Amino acid sequence: MNAKLKEAIRDLLPTSIGVHRIQRGPVRGARIYTSWHDYPGAILGTTEAPLLAWFARHVMAGETWLDIGAHYGYTSLALARLVGVTGRVFAFEPVAATAGCIARTRDLNHLSQLTIVPIGLSADPELRPRCLPVSRGMAESIGAETAPHQAIDTVSLDSLWESVSDGNAVIHGVKIDVQGMEGDVLSGMRSVLCRWKPKLVIEFHRGVDRRTVVDLIESCGYGRAAIPILPGSHKIEDDRSYAFFPLTANHL
């Protein structure tokens, strides 16, 4: 389905946000607070299938995972199920209304292991507002210039993490999907990456300098290989997710 047809169909879907039971897939039966217009794939349970399959292989009970760019919390739900009540998931979502929806989803599913952080991550160690277009409940740096703009608060993970980690700073894995802001987010978490060497999953978007991102990851002790979540070429393509592992890790 081409992008224009997809958007035309989306425009016909209900925009009202409410409680929906996910119909299929790994998080089937869980409830999510969203709208058909903003996130039909989550309600149907058809979105992010390769990523959730990767989670099932690489996320362990009791681990701590960060979901950076959590949107309505679909991937946070999957992570929370996998880490269980002894683990932790931190969902970073800068759009206040969307973060509130994740909180509702957390309560509907009784996920005490899920913490919502309503802040955007950046390279700046100081907390600063940034005005970005917001489309379908997510902030975007590219591709949605005509959407209404909204101020969001941003700061680097290196500056923020100690204050939100509740005295337990260990991180086992990080998923990043930030609509073209990948470089800024990673630049602001260099110390965390160097210290904890978490597994990384990054969705790359149009306009992001791949070499700069991979160079930064390598400087933190990771291999340069971008392992595609959806089997295929190791060449980094737009709107696809890739895993990166520390050089000492066994990722088979």
Q: Where are the domains of the chain?
A: 47-244
- Backbone φ/ψ region at 104: left (φ over 0), alpha (ψ -120 to 50), beta: alpha
Q: Which residues contact 155 (CB under 8 A, 6 or more apart)?
A: 119, 120, 121, 122, 124, 125, 126, 127, 128, 188
Whole-angstrom Cα distance, residue 224 to residue 213? 10
Q: What is the pLDDT of residue 159?
A: 98
Whole-angstrom Cα distance, residue 84 to residue 212? 35
Q: What is the pLDDT of residues 79-103, one digit of tens each?
A: 999 999 999 999 999 999 999 999 9
pLDDT higher at 235 or 59: 59
| pLDDT(1) > 60 | no
| Structure tokens, 228 | 């595609």
| Structure tokens, 220 | 């933190």
Whole-angstrom Cα distance, residue 166 to residue 211? 34
| pLDDT(144) > 70 | no
> How many CB atoms are located within 10 Å of the residue 98 CB?
27
Average pLDDT over residues 234-243: 91
| pLDDT(245) > 90 | yes
Comparing C-alpha atoms, which of 154, 159, 155, 188 is closest to residue 174? 188
Whole-angstrom Cα distance, residue 111 to residue 74? 13
Beta carbons of 190 and 218 less than 8 angstroms apart: no
Q: What is the pLDDT of residue 198?
A: 98
Q: What is the pLDDT of residue 224?
A: 94
Q: What is the pLDDT of residues 117-140, one digit of tens each?
A: 999 999 999 999 999 999 999 998
Whole-angstrom Cα distance, residue 116 to residue 120? 12
| Structure tokens, 187 | 């630049």
Q: What is the pLDDT of residue 72?
A: 98
Q: What is the pLDDT of residue 6?
A: 65
Beta carbons of 70 and 96 less than 8 angstroms apart: no
Q: What is the pLDDT of residues 159-213, one digit of tens each?
A: 999 999 999 999 999 999 999 999 999 999 999 999 999 999 999 998 899 999 9
Q: What is the pLDDT of residue 249?
A: 59
Q: Choose which CATH entry (2.60.120.620, 3.40.80.10, 3.40.50.150, 3.90.45.10) describes domain 47-244.
A: 3.40.50.150
Q: What is the pLDDT of residue 19?
A: 98
